[in-house]
Chain A
Amino acid sequence: MSKFKKKTSTSQNIPTSALPDIIFMLLFFFMVTTVLREQEILVEQKIPQATQLQKLEKKTLISYLYIGKPKNVALFGTEPRVQANDVLINTKDIVLWVNQEKDKLSEAERDQITISMKADREVKMGPISDVQFELREADARKLLYAAVGKVQN
């Protein structure tokens, strides 16, 4: 038996030095393709599904409205609320908010402002249509109902 024993006693380790490189590559990929969460979302967000999705071209023109049941029920109640930037606002303040958002854009782009409405699927049409009415008042008529893709069968 001892005849066949190997002479060298090198430990049979698999070289793992390439593993961190692979993980770092993954990490950089994720860092490049994602954006940091800019604001804390105070309302519940279960985005509905749809099939006919369109992508928006210019990100600078988009302002986000989040609609849903507040996460902090004790403080804000259970009725659906609207979140703009990082505060919950009342529906009638939307006009003011839209005008603030428009001021951030250049003169030529002001009428192209697009509102991306990220509404929870549980929300009823009542609050949604109120928001739509206010957006019409504020003359921000391009509206995107944010949705996630559904697998078509």
Chain B
Amino acid sequence: MARKKGRLTQEVNAGSMADIAFLLLIFFLVTTTIASDKGILNVLPPKQDPNQPPPEIKLNERNIFNILVNANDQLLVEGEYIDNTDKLSEDIKDFILNFGAPDEEAIALFNSLPASLRNRAKRDPQSSDHPMTGGAVVSIKTNRGTSYERYLEVLDQVKRAYFEIYAERVGLTADQYRALSGKTPAEKELLDRGKEGIPMAISIAEPDKIGGI
């Protein structure tokens, strides 16, 4: 057999293959979006019957936490002008867990709370009665000229207050609590235990038209 001496191993030059693969990769990067179905969940109130007047809900003024946002994205929280929303969720937590005038059921709820949440109860008669249904409502009222970004920022803070309360009740962090899917019975139990007795009462009022579009 005629064999050449000192022949090197014959390797196919694969350097350009990497370039081709890079081209494909970049094409996919450009044409695809990473699936992001994340956001803030909200359940709208049911449709109003035009023949019937809206139901009168008797709620004391002290049980409503008013957040007003005007067309210039300025905030009025409980009648006071505030600059930013940094402390908003803490204020809302204080409001929800005030226990100003609890009934028997609310006292039972109060006793079931962990000590860190119980310490928040200021029992201020000027603030909310109890966090149960009809006891504390957070109301967000915007203007038609308010920017969506500001609205979402405020809603985010309100949600944060509730999630932090829920998470603290079951001994998790708010992030962990929000990540619970409720698919397994254990997760569902945690979710329900967090929410029990403290409904997420967020009222989003119809925006008014003054000063907007």
Contacts and interface: CB of A to CB of B under 8 A. Distances in A.
Interface of A: 8, 10, 15-17, 19-20, 23-24, 26-27, 30-31, 33-37, 48, 50-57, 59, 62, 116-117, 119-126, 128-129, 132, 135-137, 139, 141-149
Please report whether the interface of chain A is mostly helix, strand, loop or mixed according to DSSP. Answer: mixed
A30 B213 contact: no
Please report whether the interface of chain B is mostly helix, strand, loop or mixed according to DSSP. Answer: mixed
Contact of B44 (A51, A55, A119, A132): A132
B22 interface: yes
B37 A52 contact: no
Nearest to A16: B15
A126 B46 contact: no
Contacts of B142: 125, 129
25 contacts: A10-B8, A20-B21, A27-B28, A33-B35, A34-B28, A34-B34, A34-B35, A35-B35, A50-B40, A50-B156, A51-B156, A52-B178, A54-B39, A55-B37, A119-B148, A123-B147, A124-B147, A125-B146, A126-B207, A128-B151, A129-B144, A135-B44, A145-B41, A147-B152, A149-B38
B33 A34 contact: yes
Contacts, number: 175
Given A62-B37, A142-B41, A50 B28 contact: no
Contacts of B40: 50, 52-54, 144-145, 147
A53 B21 contact: no
B38 A27 contact: no
A64 to B, nearest CB: 9
B149 interface: yes
Contact of A125 (B12, B18, B29, B151): B151
B9 to A, nearest CB: 10
The range of chain B's interface size is 35 or more
Contacts of B34: 33-34
A52 B24 CA distance: 36
Contacts of A53: 38-40, 178
Contacts of B21: 20, 23-24, 27
Contacts of A15: 11
Given A30-B25, A50-B153, A144 B31 contact: no
A56 B183 CA distance: 12
> Which residue, B38, B142, B143, has most C-beta atoms of chain A within 10 A?
B38
A11 B149 CA distance: 61
A45 to B, nearest CB: 10
B45 interface: yes
A52 B153 CA distance: 10
- Per CB-CB distance, the 6 closest pairs between chain A and chain B, nearest first, are A126-B144, A34-B32, A23-B21, A121-B149, A20-B17, A146-B39
Interface string B139-165: 000111111110111011001100100
A63 to B, nearest CB: 12
A126 B34 CA distance: 30
